[in-house]
Structure 1
Amino acid sequence: MSAPIQSLVIPVSDLDAAKAIYTTLWGDPHTDTAYYVGYNVDGFEVALAPGDVSGGPVAYADVEDLDATHAALIAAGGTERTAPMKVAPESRVSVVDDPDGNPIGLRGK
Structure 2
Amino acid sequence: MTSSPTQGIKTVLYPVSDLAAAKAVYAALLGVPPQTDSSYYVGFEAEGQHIGLVPSGGQQSLSASVAYWHVPDIEAKLAEMTAAGATVKEPAHDVGGGRLVAAVTDTDGNVLGLIQDR
User: Which category of TM-score, normalised to the shorter sequence, fits these structures?
Assistant: 0.7 to 0.9
Greater share of residues in strand? 1
Q: Deviations over 1:20-61 (max 9, x none)?
A: 21122223111111122111121111111123453x111111
Partner of 1:9: 13
Map 1:6-85; keep pairs closer than 5 Å. 6-26=10-30, 27-51=32-56, 52-54=61-63, 56-85=64-93
Question: In the alignment, is the contact (CA less than 8 A) between 1:97 and 1:104 conserved in 2?
Answer: yes
TM-score by length of 1: 0.88
Any idea what SS the aligned residue of 1:101 has? coil
Question: In the alignment, is the contact (CA less than 8 A) between 1:13 and 1:53 conserved in 2?
Answer: no
Greater share of residues in helix? 1
> Matched residues in 2 for 1:100 and 1:88: separation?
30
Instruction: Give the AA of the match of 1:73.
Output: M
Q: Deviations over 1:3-29 (max 9, x none)?
A: 121111112222122112112222311
Tell me, which stretches of 5 or more residues in structure 1 are unaligned? none
Give percent identity, aligned residues only: 40
The count of aligned residue pairs is: 108
Any idea what SS the aligned residue of 2:20 has? helix
Q: Which runs of 4+ in 1 moved over 2 A?
A: 51-54
